[in-house]
Structure 1
Amino acid sequence: MCLWTFKSLLALFADLVRPQHNQHSHCYCCLLHNICLRTVNVIFRNLDTAADCSLSYKELKGLLKSQMTLIDVREKWETGQFGKIPGSINIPLGEVMEALQMNPKDFKERYNQDMPAKSDHLVFSCMAGVRSKKALDIAMSLGFSRVQHYAGGLEEWAKYEPPETKQ
């Protein structure tokens, strides 16, 4: 089922449980309607962000030329062993929550990069897209509004070009 059809069905369901009278806080049908509307809004928001947040190799390659921050959420030993996407900074998944809430001075000291603002464009990557999606969810929960993840990860990147390795 396409996304548009699914959204239309959810909206139709919300209309079906709409009370046929003035809303009351104690009325069962009004409570059901309000719960349904909140649920529909959460589902819409999640569907929209899920559809818009995943990048392909070509999209990421194009973005690397623009003003965005690419964060590799793999462990430090992984970047040492397998390399990284050029231009990325390493913030392991376990540190993402703390890092994105740091004092800008501390962030710069620790990661040798300016602290991203909540309105900055962030892209998360990992080995195969699982951890980057979790990092995306963390960033969104902290109020970052322009976040995406590279679902193919370093595995896909390496099919097109060699990862950057330390010399």
Structure 2
Amino acid sequence: IILFFPGLNSIKGNWHNFCTAVYKDVTYKELKNLLNSRKIMLIDVRNTWEIIECGKIPGSVNIPLNEVGEALQMNPEDFKEKYNEIKPSKSDSLMFSCLAGMRSKKALDIAISLGFTRSQHYAGGWKEWSTYEHSE
């Protein structure tokens, strides 16, 4: 078990590097490559109405931020029924996105706290994605 105590100066060296790696922001290009490889589950934590109104990153699953903690603790059958996807295991790679990175960072924190240690977030969110996609 690894505990994180912000501001604790007695822990040095690799601990800082580990934390930095866990919270690394993913770029548009990195996300696009990961989606093409099908090695991640992309979870869009915006409200459903936002996705209907604005669009979504192809292949993403909508789990609004206020449902993330509960969803990641559901049994697989209930998860499949509610989100029409196979529930990720704690060893799966998860990516969180939202509009501009604020909610996805909160979702990332929730996932990490629940043991989903292979989680990251796309800080650029839908705003950045749609800008790149419309310019290509």
TM-score (norm 1): 0.70
Distance apart, 1:145 and its partner CA: 1.6
Q: What is the alpha-carbon distance in structure 1 between the residues aligned to residue 77 and residue 109 of structure 2?
A: 24
**Partner SS, residue 100 of structure 1:** helix
User: Does residue 64 of structure 2 align to residue 103 of structure 1?
Assistant: no
**Contact 2:22/2:118, CA 8 A, preserved across alignment:** no
User: Does residue 79 of structure 2 align to residue 91 of structure 1?
Assistant: no
User: Does residue 121 of structure 2 align to residue 149 of structure 1?
Assistant: yes
Higher relative contact order (CA 8 A, sep 6+): 2
User: Does residue 10 of structure 2 align to residue 37 of structure 1?
Assistant: yes
**1:18-47 deviations in Å (ceiling 9; x for gaps):** xxxxxxxxxxxxxxxxx7435x58x72433
Q: What amino acid sits opposite 1:102 in the alignment?
A: M
Stretches of structure 2 that go unaligned for 5 or more consecutive residues are 1-6
Identity of aligned residues (%): 59
Q: What is the alpha-carbon distance in structure 2 between the residues aligned to residue 58 and residue 94 of structure 1?
A: 28
Q: What amino acid sits opposite 2:47 in the alignment?
A: E
Displacement over 6 Å in runs of 4+: none
Stretches of structure 1 that go unaligned for 5 or more consecutive residues are 1-9, 11-34, 163-167
TM-score (norm 2): 0.85
**1:51-72 deviations in Å (ceiling 9; x for gaps):** xx31000000000012210000
Q: What amino acid sits opposite 1:55 in the alignment?
A: V
Q: What is the alpha-carbon distance in structure 2 between the residues aligned to residue 157 and residue 48 of structure 1?
A: 22
**Contact 2:22/2:119, CA 8 A, preserved across alignment:** no
Query: Could you tell me which of 6, 25, 35 is aligned with 1:64?
Result: 35
Query: Could you tell me which of 127, 131, 134 is aligned with 1:159?
Result: 131
Structure label with greater radius of gyration: 1
Q: Please give the root-mean-square deviation of Cα atoms over the aligned residues, in Å.
A: 1.9
